[in-house]
Amino acid sequence: MNDNLKTDTSKDLWNRAKAIYISTLRSEEERIQAEGYFSMVTSVYHDDKVFHVLTSNKFAADFLAEKYADKLKLAMDLAGGEKDATLSFSYDSETKQKLYIPKTEVSPPPKPPIAKSTAYISTLPLEENYTFEEFVQGPSNSWAFAAAKGVAKNPGQKNYNPLFIHGGTGLGKTHLMQAIGNELKRTNPSMSVCYITAETFLNEYVNALQQKGMESFRERYRFIDVLLVDDIQFLQKGKQCQEEFFNTFNYLTTKHKQIVMTSDVAPKNLPALEDRLISRFEGGMVQEIEAPGIETRLAILKKKAENITPTVPNTALEFIAEHIRSHVRAMEGALAKVIVSLEINPTAELKNEDLSFILKDFIDKEQSLKKLTIKEIQECVAKKYGITVSQILSSDRTASLVTPRQLAMYISRKYTPKSLQEIANEFDKKHATILHGVKAIEKRLDVEEELLDALDSILAEFNYKISDKIE
């Protein structure tokens, strides 16, 4: 077998194995992270009993070997690879991309500056369709949109640095952030842009500590032009990591490099963050995205229905915008169901009674969501655990009260269309306390069957199933 054929065969095997492995991941975040690291693979080849995977930087090789090697080997076996072959990850020095300007040498004469190549070291991929053109503006997001456009036009400008965008789930925070990245890739291809989640930053920080690689970790993040950090609230998980992010933040801003962050809540409502970090976050521009009104919901649906065949009638879009209000994803699901119906019967008129039948599941869920109040949730949880609503609303941190209190917060967040502010008001707590309670229950539900049974029992009182959550 010639070398070219061997290379093609190795690539095919690698691609099949990646697809198999990614298909086993449960969450979208896990898939995005894995694809981000896989994108750093520059080439693969098979030599005797070793399958070699070369990467664009040493960190990627070390991280892939540590986190993915065993599972990828199983995926390669399933893809038809040799059972007794081993998997090896290494750094391909020939493709090295520097993210910094080398120190000036004294003896040699200065050389003409060389434009930096676009560098995506330790970054998640940007969605190509997340652009400013594809973003639907409305009264609820116009200020955030204008700020994001300002950053893309003049990255590093003091008034916009950092830019902190906050708001509820599914309102467009990530879209705007990635639109900045995509616009800068188009207009300033020499800029190095890094898009990550705060959780990714935290995980890589821990990994660098364990492998004694802090110097290279700092170098990666401090010598870039634009840092885009999604879900910055997750930085609250690690005190030491906050120190490192603070130093990186200061380094980049003093060099007039742009930082953009998103969060579910405003900086002041992130109490587990150090005060000096909150002060830095509030030192630039803070913009909120609110839930869209009916006009914006309709505009979103029209945008998503563009260039779709068969054409979705405006009356159908108006029906969805009027009846599906809990979540943008719910609107997208309803639109998808209408499109399927039109594909089956392109000549259908889709009158209101037809749409009511087609979207019955969505409408029933919407109506039930409207009836479910936070007060009812609090009362039901209190009854289940043999406590009072006053105890749920109290600040008493007794273990027997923390679980029902956080469970009531979780149900309110996941099974009602109420905003984070509304839930916080009903519990007389801060935004961050609600988010902490929700996250705590999410983690426990994965491992505590008794808690899962309690959730199922409480939801049954409202004729809900666990799968009915709206985000």
Q: Is the pLDDT of residue 454 over 50?
A: yes
Tokens of 342: 């039109």
Taking the C-alpha atoms of residue 56 and residue 94, their distance in angstroms, rounded to an integer, is 8
Residues 402-453 pLDDT 10s: 999 999 999 999 888 788 888 999 999 998 899 999 999 999 998 898 999 8
Q: Which residues are 289's β-sheet partners?
A: 167
CATH architecture of 3-95: 2-Layer Sandwich (3.30)
Taking the C-alpha atoms of residue 352 and residue 365, their distance in angstroms, rounded to an integer, is 18
Residues 27-86 pLDDT 10s: 666 777 777 788 888 889 888 889 999 987 777 788 888 888 888 888 787 777 888 888
Tokens of 103: 């120190």
Q: Is the pLDDT of residue 222 over 60?
A: yes
Tokens of 154: 């003049």
Q: Is the pLDDT of residue 242 over 50?
A: yes
CATH architecture of 142-289: 3-Layer(aba) Sandwich (3.40)
Taking the C-alpha atoms of residue 58 and residue 207, their distance in angstroms, rounded to an integer, is 13
Q: Is the pLDDT of residue 98 over 50?
A: no
pLDDT at 27: 64
The three-class DSSP label of residue 288 is: strand
The pTM score is 0.56
In CATH terms, the fold of domain 373-468 is Chromosomal Replication Initiator Protein Dnaa; Chain: A; (1.10.1750)
At residue 468, what is the residue type? D
